[in-house]
A and B are shown apart, each in its own frame.
Chain A
Amino acid sequence: MTTTTLDSKVPSGPIEDRWDNHKFSINLVNPANKRKFTVIVVGTGLAGASAAASLAELGYRVRVFTFHDSARRAHSIAAQGGINASKNYPNDGDSAFRLFYDTVKGGDYRSRESNVYRLAQVSADIIDQCTAQGVPFARDYGGLLANRSFGGAQVSRTFYARGQTGQQLLLGAYQAMMRQVHLGNVELTTQTELVDVVVKDGVAVGIVTRNLLTGDTESHSAHAVVLATGGYGNAFYLSTNAMKSNVTAAWRAHKKGAFFANPCYTQIHPTCIPASDEFQSKLTLMSESLRNDGRIWVPDKVGDDRPAADIPETERDYYLERRYPAFGNLVPRDVASRAAKKEVDQMKGVGPLRNGVFLDFADPIDRLGEGEIRERYGNLFEMYERITGEDPYAQPMRIYPAVHYTMGGLWVDYNLMTNLPGLYCLGEANFSDHGANRLGASALMQGLADGYFVLPYTIGDYLSESLGNEPVPTDDQVFKDAETEASDHVNRLLSIGGTRSVDWFHRELGKIVWENCGMERNAEGLEKAISEIQALKTEFDTDLRVLGSADRLNQSLDKAGRVEDFFGLAELMCRDALHREESCGGHFRVEHQTEDGEALRDDENFSYVAAWDWNGGEKPTLHKEPLEFEYVKLAQRSYK
């Protein structure tokens, strides 16, 4: 593979001044000229909705597309725990620098320092913005905002709205965007999926969409295209992502030349409800805040079938407290997840399928009383009982890790622009800020930072260059070709006429990826996975059965297109994991671990962002963006 070096356009100077200096040095678009520019935003989650609202407020003409029936349904809505911000309201020593430091360290030194510092800087503005929009954050009796410590952070910097923080933040962004719809500055199109990014002379000039209700293929041109289309966790089939979450927009941009960065960085969330049977369609996450009080354990004995209450203290292994005395049950997500896998692999798992570990609230209930626990976690306990039929006040919960978030995504520079001029990527869909592992309560922060406070500044720099240029007309040949290709693609899926449903393929793909590119990876497994994925893809191309037609709502057809893209992504993920001969954050290669079984980085050889080039469908090419750490000293993470 050939490699080139990517320019991240990171400004120079002291890190705390870089963003301000950059904002000053980049070009602006005069207020009167903003309305001459059209920007397409795809996706209406936190990043997309906040970007659309902010751009429209600035005066740009914004066209927004979502495949949902309403712009309020994106999966950002399901985030429970909270959003970080370095407000330092609790006076416990937080600062932008500390949040920056924690994020770089938590990301296992695989993120870009300048981006992370900017994220930490604007985090405080996000809280102000959302509060002004009416987000009902939790408050203390004095009426001021409440904070909690989240996911083992040493300071309380997480703002939350019950267990529905994502929902409330999304509603805020959605409402801000709907205000712009009302004012005529945003044109919102629902039930419409991106099927292609149109590139002319190396520049993104528009998109092709498919109306999910009528099947109509349409072209839309603009001065810039913004993808805010979420992560690719559903490549694993079972994940905590929503059923419709997919990689299609990012993947089709990748096929048009956008580089896909660090696809192997996937986050496994330690506290999900284990699968109950083969037909399980998704996994449900339970807020990590449960680990603040709950104690995690498994029986000492292999295959111990007794109910939890009958297992005496002396025959329980509180393995996190034992192995990590300092952090105990609050070790970072990747560490907690791998530890659970280790116990289950040793046949110490609990539950009917032996696929979980206990998360026990007996101690805190004794200590604080059931009322207090109900106050803190009541809604989570209820949800658990609804799903499992078990009462967590009376018996420990069963939990197991599940795919939750993907740190990888389209490569973007400091301006959030991909390597294709005019194509931007925000939120989980880009790779930018979390390195190899994301801290709890940082996803919401990044999505909103990108949308409210980064893109609205940086996009002007690009747009100002094309003042006076009309967007490429949609009857241009590039659009016509893309449309033809899109309808041919749909017709091909419908005409395969095989025997297997799209869900079957998705489930089989998920098994391969989870088995070989999940919590632990090794070279042999990854190579096997690549060939299995290719074989399954061949089967998909010949044996897929999609019934019905393309001219009305056809959910199997919609899904077939998305699953097809997961094949490509899954293969790239395995390739990336195979090439990265080290362990870091969410990427754990069994060949690279310390004597204690912890992730062992190779900073000398792998301190870079791996950005993959589609290369016309031939073997993908690797481009590297070297990472430099001026402010955070590289160190082995230790949570002992």
Chain B
Amino acid sequence: MDLTLEVWRQAGESAEGRFETYDAPDVSEDMSFLEMLDLVNERLIAEEREPIAFDHDCREGICGSCGVMINGKAHGPQLGTATCQLHMRQFEDGDRIVVEPWRAKAFAIVRDLVVDRSPLDRIIEAGGYISAPTGAAPDANMIPVPKESADAAMDAAACIGCAACIAACPNSAGQLFTSAKLAHLDLLPQGQPERYKRVEAMVETMEEFFGSCTNHGECESACPKSISIDNIALMNRDYLIAKLKNRKLAGQH
């Protein structure tokens, strides 16, 4: 199939950016979206033009490196699919495809389609962990975990940290990412001792970088792992408790 691309090119954070138009002829429908970009880049290099910079690594939808807006949708038209797993059979011959980087104030454009997502690491750093120093762990089967809880924790833990939720959110809110990380740990018995400290630290760090949630649900649809916004409600509830609860009593149950 023959396609026309409009790709955002920007030399660096402070440089002026613009869309540039490229022809992408002879694209096979079995190619992934990124392989299509590889092909365009090969042609650009042949013409002695600098290739398009884009983030990618595992190309199997798990590392969370890739992600661009494709025709106004985060990760493109296929639901529950990261950009690297999007295949060209989702498009039709003659399509015009607009490719733009994630946009959020907290995500500076590094180059072209590459953005700096380090604020997500700051949120984790603030409290997105269970303090379990190496060697201190009891036997793994000492604390049974109800299957339903373990499964729900896994659903939340499936987050790949691609930031599509924030890119897709009309408010650039970081709620889905943060709440998924929280739910992963808070739904497990191991996560209980630090639960309220964690939600406080992570929510407040999140708010330093991102907008606020107005419950559009756009994040959930953009998420390549289809993580549910139910996690956001859980986070909101825990946050209120964190602010009101007398935590000295938390060891009672």
* Touching chains A and B, CB distance < 8 Å: yes
Is B31 close to A, CB under 8 A?
Answer: yes
Contact at A181–B125, with CB atoms within 8 Å? yes
Instruction: Knowing A57-B134, A134-B188 are in contact, say whether A87-B140 is a contact too (CB < 8 A).
Output: yes
Which of A273-281, A330-338, A623-631 contacts the other chain? Answer: A273-281
**Please, what's the 1-or-0 string for A544-582, where 1 marks a CB less than 8 Å from any CB in chain B?**
010110001101100000000000000000000000000
CA distance A74 to B87 in the complex (A): 23
Which of B50-58, B206-214, B228-236 contacts the other chain? Answer: B50-58
Contact at B153–A70, with CB atoms within 8 Å? no
Closest to A452 in B: B134
Q: How far is the CB of B110 from chain A (nearest CB, A)?
A: 6
Instruction: Knowing A69-B55, A128-B138, A128-B140 are in contact, say whether A242-B145 is a contact too (CB < 8 A).
Output: no
Chain B residues with CB under 8 Å of A78's CB are 58, 60, 62-63
Is A132 close to B, CB under 8 A?
Answer: yes
Is A164 close to B, CB under 8 A?
Answer: yes
Instruction: Knowing A128-B137, A129-B132 are in contact, say whether A75-B38 is a contact too (CB < 8 A).
Output: no
Q: How far is the CB of B202 from chain A (nearest CB, A)?
A: 11
Is B6 close to A, CB under 8 A?
Answer: no
**Please, what's the 1-or-0 string for A157-184, where 1 marks a CB less than 8 Å from any CB in chain B?**
0000110101110010011101101100
Closest to A53 in B: B134
Q: How far is the CB of B96 from chain A (nearest CB, A)?
A: 21
Selected from B50, B61, B116, B153, the residue in CB contact (under 8 A) with A136 is B153
Interface residues of A in 132-162 (CB under 8 A from B): 132-134, 136-145, 161-162
Contact at A387–B153, with CB atoms within 8 Å? no
The bracket for how many chain A residues form the interface is 35 or more
A54, A143, A144: which has the most chain B beta carbons within 10 Å? A143
**Please, what's the 1-or-0 string for B178-212, where 1 marks a CB less than 8 Å from any CB in chain A?**
00000011001011000000000000000000000
Is A243 close to B, CB under 8 A?
Answer: yes
Is B172 close to A, CB under 8 A?
Answer: no
Instruction: Knowing A182-B125, A503-B42 are in contact, say whether A386-B87 is a contact too (CB < 8 A).
Output: yes
Q: How far is the CB of A68 from chain B (nearest CB, A)?
A: 7
Is B64 close to A, CB under 8 A?
Answer: yes
A162, A242, A389: which has the most chain B beta carbons within 10 Å? A242
Is A89 close to B, CB under 8 A?
Answer: yes
Q: How far is the CB of A486 from chain B (nearest CB, A)?
A: 22
CA distance A50 to B135 in the complex (A): 12
Contact at B188–A136, with CB atoms within 8 Å? yes
B128, B134, B138: which has the most chain A beta carbons within 10 Å? B134
Chain A residues with CB under 8 Å of B111's CB are 552-553
Selected from A138, A162, A176, A244, the residue in CB contact (under 8 A) with B132 is A176
Contact at B12–A552, with CB atoms within 8 Å? yes
Chain A residues with CB under 8 Å of B241's CB are none
Selected from B29, B147, B153, the residue in CB contact (under 8 A) with A141 is B147
**Please, what's the 1-or-0 string for B56-87, where 1 marks a CB less than 8 Å from any CB in chain A?**
11111111110000000000001001000101
CA distance A164 to B53 in the complex (A): 28
B31, B56, B59, B138: which has the most chain A beta carbons within 10 Å? B59
Chain B residues with CB under 8 Å of A383's CB are 60-61, 85
Closest to B86 in A: A386
What total count of A-B pairs have CB within 8 Å?
Answer: 223
Is A284 close to B, CB under 8 A?
Answer: yes
Contact at B57–A242, with CB atoms within 8 Å? yes
Contact at B64–A72, with CB atoms within 8 Å? yes
CA distance A141 to B146 in the complex (A): 7
CA distance A240 to B133 in the complex (A): 33
Chain A residues with CB under 8 Å of B46's CB are 501
Is B16 close to A, CB under 8 A?
Answer: no
Chain A residues with CB under 8 Å of B153's CB are 134, 136
Is A213 close to B, CB under 8 A?
Answer: yes
Chain B residues with CB under 8 Å of A182's CB are 125-127
CA distance A131 to B190 in the complex (A): 8
Chain B residues with CB under 8 Å of A204's CB are none
Contact at B81–A386, with CB atoms within 8 Å? yes
CA distance A504 to B62 in the complex (A): 26
Selected from A74, A142, A276, A452, the residue in CB contact (under 8 A) with B144 is A142
Contact at B63–A77, with CB atoms within 8 Å? yes
**Please, what's the 1-or-0 string for B106-135, where 1 marks a CB less than 8 Å from any CB in chain A?**
000011001011101100111111111111
Contact at B51–A136, with CB atoms within 8 Å? no
Q: How far is the CB of B77 from chain A (nearest CB, A)?
A: 13
**Please, what's the 1-or-0 string for A519-557, where 1 marks a CB less than 8 Å from any CB in chain B?**
000000000000000000000000001011000110110
Contact at A176–B129, with CB atoms within 8 Å? yes
Contact at A282–B188, with CB atoms within 8 Å? no
Selected from A125, A132, A277, A389, the residue in CB contact (under 8 A) with B130 is A132
Instruction: Knowing A134-B185, A190-B118, A389-B89 are in contact, say whether A129-B53 is a contact too (CB < 8 A).
Output: no
**Please, what's the 1-or-0 string for A60-94, where 1 marks a CB less than 8 Å from any CB in chain B?**
00000000111111110110000000010100000
Is B98 close to A, CB under 8 A?
Answer: no
Is B173 close to A, CB under 8 A?
Answer: no
Contact at B136–A243, with CB atoms within 8 Å? no
Of the A-B pairs whose beta carbons lie under 8 Å apart in the complex, a sample of 25, sorted by A's number, is A69-B117, A71-B121, A74-B63, A75-B63, A78-B60, A127-B140, A129-B137, A133-B130, A134-B184, A134-B188, A136-B151, A136-B153, A178-B125, A179-B131, A190-B118, A242-B58, A242-B59, A279-B28, A279-B38, A281-B34, A383-B60, A386-B78, A389-B29, A547-B48, A553-B53
A contact set with B: CB distance below 8 Å: 50, 53-54, 57, 68-75, 77-78, 87, 89, 125, 127-134, 136-145, 161-162, 164, 166-168, 171, 174-176, 178-179, 181-182, 190, 213, 240, 242-244, 276-277, 279-282, 284-285, 383, 386-389, 452-453, 456, 501, 503-504, 545, 547-548, 552-553, 555-556
Besides A134-B132, A281-B34, 20 other A-B contacts (C-beta < 8 A) = A53-B134, A54-B133, A69-B116, A69-B117, A73-B161, A125-B137, A132-B132, A132-B137, A132-B190, A136-B188, A137-B150, A144-B141, A144-B144, A162-B154, A164-B158, A168-B154, A280-B35, A284-B60, A386-B85, A389-B29
